[in-house]
C-alpha cells in the first residue's frame, strides 16, 4: 500500500524557515516523480513544486520561486521542502503527492498533510 507521511509543520514567524519532510513507503520511491501541493485555510489547492525521480528536473510555482527548495533522498525514501523567507500567505496545509503509475501530470496519491502557520 502506498503511504506518504508528511511532517515538520508548525508555527513560524514571518521571515523564518521550516523544513518539511515526506516519508514514503509501499512503493519504489526512486522510480516516481513527486510534488508538493498546498491548501490555505478555507481556500483551494495550489501546486507548489515538482521533482523528477532522479532529482535532475525541478519546477516551482512563481509564488515560491527563490524561497523554497525541493529535494529528495532516494536512499531514505524521503521528499523534502525547505521553506525560507516565509510569509503569512504561505500559511497552508502542505501535501506531498506522487504521480499515478503509468500516467503523466497528475497526483495519484496524497499524504494527510502537515499544517504550516506563519504568524507573529
104 binds other proteins (CB under 8 A): yes
Among 45, 55, 78, 117, binds other proteins (CB under 8 A): 45
**Numbers of helices and strands, H then E, in the chain:** 0, 11
Among 1, 41, 44, 75, binds other proteins (CB under 8 A): 44
Count of chain residues binding other proteins (CB under 8 A): 23
Among 14, 15, 16, 108, binds other proteins (CB under 8 A): 108
Give the Cα separation of 77 and 32 in Å (integer): 11
Q: What are the beta bridge partners of residue 25?
A: 3
Q: Whose CA is closest to 37, among 79, 87, 84?
A: 79
Give the Cα separation of 23 and 41 in Å (integer): 24
1 binds other proteins (CB under 8 A): no
Among 21, 60, 77, 78, binds other proteins (CB under 8 A): 60
Amino acid at each position: 500500500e502506498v503511504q506518504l507521511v508528511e511532517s515538520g509543520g508548525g508555527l513560524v514567524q514571518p521571515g523564518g524557515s521550516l523544513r518539511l519532510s515526506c516519508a514514503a513507503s509501499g512503493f519504489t520511491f526512486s522510480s516516481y516523480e513527486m510534488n508538493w501541493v498546498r491548501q490555505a485555510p478555507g481556500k483551494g489547492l495550489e501546486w507548489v513544486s515538482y521533482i523528477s525521480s532522479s532529482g535532475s528536473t525541478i519546477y516551482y510555482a512563481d509564488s515560491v520561486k527563490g524561497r523554497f527548495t525541493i529535494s529528495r533522498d532516494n536512499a531514505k525514501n524521503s521528499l523534502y521542502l525547505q521553506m525560507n523567507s516565509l510569509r503569512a500567505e504561505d500559511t497552508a496545509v502542505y501535501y506531498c503527492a506522487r504521480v499515478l503509475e503509468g500516467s503523466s501530470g497528475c497526483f495519484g496519491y496524497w499524504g494527510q498533510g502537515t499544517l504550516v502557520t506563519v504568524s507573529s
